[in-house]
């Protein structure tokens, strides 16, 4: 997203999400930016009940999927699938802030 100033760098929604995650969770998250797509796979390196965290996030207006949704064995996995396609440059950092507030 451009800052509105001529010549300002353009930052993609994915980069905005990634920067917000790094700032908020630091070493607790791990991911690689893909060249395209609408979501970011995040490995949660912290010890946390991922499924509880996702449920609590919904209570704060942020919905995201855990690794369990994509696991063939149906078991909980320390991963999150976070979409950046539907939010703008102001909403993405707010979503991460709410996600952090919901962390058990």
Q: Is there a contact between 48 and 104 (Cβ–Cβ < 8 Å)?
A: yes
**32: phi then psi, degrees, rounded to nearest 5:** -125, 135
pLDDT per residue, tens digit, the chain (104 aa), is 445 566 666 789 999 999 999 999 999 999 999 888 999 999 999 999 999 999 999 999 999 999 999 999 999 999 999 999 999 999 999 999 999 999 99
Of the options 3.40.50.300, 3.90.1150.10, 3.30.310.80, 3.30.1330.20, the CATH number for the domain spanning 13-102: 3.90.1150.10
Write down the pTM of the prediction: 0.87
Where in the chain are the domains?
13-102
**Digit-coded pLDDT (tens) for 29-44:** 999 998 889 999 999 9
């Amino acid at each position: 997203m451009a800052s509105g100033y001529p010549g300002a760098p353009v930052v993609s929604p994915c980069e905005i999400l990634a920067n917000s995650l790094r700032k908020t969770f630091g070493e607790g998250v791990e991911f690689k930016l893909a060249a395209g797509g609408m979501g970011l796979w995040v490995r949660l390196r912290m010890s946390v009940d991922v499924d509880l965290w996702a449920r609590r996030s919904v209570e704060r207006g942020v919905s995201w999927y855990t690794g369990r949704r994509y696991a063939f064995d149906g078991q909980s996995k320390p991963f999150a699938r976070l979409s950046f396609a539907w939010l703008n440059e102001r909403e993405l950092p707010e979503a991460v802030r709410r996600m952090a507030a919901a962390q058990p």
